Homo-oligomer: A and B are copies of this chain.
Amino acid sequence: MELLVTYDVDTTTPDGARRLRRVAKVCEAYGLRVQKSVFEIVCSDVDWMIMKKRLLDVIDGDQDSIRVYQMNAGALGRAQHLGRSPEAPHGAPLIY
């Protein structure tokens, strides 16, 4: 499955910045960080269950929010980009 994960956290606090680093670490195990708090994920249903549990362990449920969008196959690779280049190249097929 292809997922787009977006994380909303206040990174002006040390705790928020730390949680963003941890969320990034969880997400980067399954995909690419294309913006500071946006991750393109390709994983199995089981991977997603594991990942979701890890994310819930990391975030502060009262302050942060994560949104997860299920994408069509290939939709991540067709994203349009405006402005500064993505930090990670994303031209190649998302196959691991």
Distance in angstroms from A91 CB to nearest chain B CB is 14
What residues of B have a CB within 8 angstroms of the CB of A82 in the complex? 52, 55-56, 59, 61, 65-68
Do A84 and B72 contact each other (CB < 8 Å), given the known contacts A35-B8, A38-B8, A79-B67?
Answer: no
Q: Does A50 have its Cβ within 8 Å of any Cβ on chain B?
A: no
What residues of B have a CB within 8 angstroms of the CB of A84 in the complex? 8, 61-65
B67 touches A69 (CB 8 A): no
Enumerate A76-91 residues with CB–CB distance to B below 8 Å: 76, 78-86
Q: What is the CA–CA distance of A71 and B34 in the complex, to the nearest angstrom?
A: 17
Distance in angstroms from A76 CB to nearest chain B CB is 7
